[in-house]
Amino acid sequence: MAKRNEIVEKRKRVVRDLTGKNFGKLTVIENTYKQNKHNCYLWKCLCECGNIIEVPTNYLTSGNTKSCGCGAGKGKTGRKYKDISNQRFGILTAIHPTDARSNSGSVIWECLCDCGNTVEVRSSDLVSGYIRSCGCLKAKAKDLTGQRFGRLTVIRPVKEQESKRSIIWECTCDCGNTVFLPSKRLRSGNVKSCGCYRRDVVRQESHKAKRYKDLTGQTFGRFTVLGKTDKRSYGNIVWKCQKDTGEIILRSTSVLKREKKHFDKIKDHLPKKGRAFKDMTGQRYGRLTAIEFVERKNGATYWKCRCDCGNEVIKNIANLKSGKTVSCGCIYMATRNLRSKAPKNTLVMSSPKKIKNKKLTIKPKIS
């Protein structure tokens, strides 16, 4: 404890003594030896107006603080304010500044309204135009009672306000609902109902969507529509159709559209008239059986094939005929598994003929 007191005494001797010195309207009385957050000592000072305040050393020596805040024509920060006496702001006339200051240091002026009321307003609110009256302009706001905005009829204003400049009105919709809306939204035209208008529009659009187009006689790829049925599939009409093979089947509107889209995609790749086109349907190539033609792209013809293992793949017919492709890939997997299980010094061989017969052979590896 004694050592701490010695340190404090040393600090007291090092600090510059400002006692008795004048800084503007302030006269330094004594050092309080209290420190602010910046470790500056606070000095007790006497202002000419009689107030006693505590000021940090750097505020005194830099000249930032020259009074307790009572200086005529100056705010709390010591900055001079603009004299706006007798100037008009809206229907307010600034009379004289008061001794009060806002939290930001703005001078508060006493103002006279044209209606006769006297109010105190911050100078910043007057200059910016944020406040233009004592509040009487709000009372003189345009009366919307009885006016119609879309499906809404204004009944009366209510006391609650969404903001300082927008009165909330009680409105009745044609559907019978009551809503409360600010005048800004009513005048803007963005609100025309309690919400029923949007629901009615959606309902009308939905009703239009349900109106179907008669597809009787139209062709969608391999299907020709014969007529409409009373059945529905996920909201789509089910049509009675005839396939190009003569089979009578039922197809929904969405399925017919998909069929047409698929046919339009491949019709440009179908063989042209006068060009040889061999039907490969049902032919076998190794473990693959050709099912149906898919497309013709860059001079190559592609067919959908079903493998004996059950997989369906799309392959180039040239690779099928040459024997380059004989399965969906299951032969390769079987060969790899067999090689992994085969003993050392053995060679697993496979050929198109043996693959065609679904056989794999293991021959001794020649050293």
Condensed to tens digits (0 to 9), the pLDDT of residues 179-229 reads 988 888 888 888 888 888 877 776 665 555 555 678 889 988 888 999 988
Its domain, for residue 246, covers 212-264
Domain co-membership, 195 together with 259: no
- Residue 193 is which amino acid? S
Last residue of a domain, one of 174, 206, 238: 206
Domain co-membership, 288 together with 334: yes
The span from the CA of 264 to the CA of 266, in Å, is: 6
Q: What is the 8-class DSSP label of residue 279? A: -
- The full DSSP string for 18-85 is -TT-EETTEEEEEEEEEE-TTSPEEEEEEETTS-EEEEEHHHHHHTS--SSS--TTB-TTSPBPP--T
Q: Would 299 be classed as within a structural domain?
A: yes
Q: Would 67 be classed as within a structural domain?
A: no
Residues with pLDDT less than 70, the chain: 1-14, 70-80, 138-141, 159-166, 202-212, 265-277, 337-367
pLDDT score at 76: 44
pLDDT score at 274: 43
Domain co-membership, 187 together with 234: no
Q: How many domains does the chain have?
A: 5
348: nearest Cα among 357, 337, 177: 337
Do residues 359 and 334 make contact, with C-beta atoms less than 8 angstroms apart? no
The structure tokens listed for 141 are: 């706001």
Domain co-membership, 231 together with 295: no
**Residue 288 CA: distances (Å) to CA of 277, 359, 364:** 20, 15, 30
pLDDT score at 2: 62
Residue 268: helix, strand or coil by DSSP?
helix
pTM: 0.27
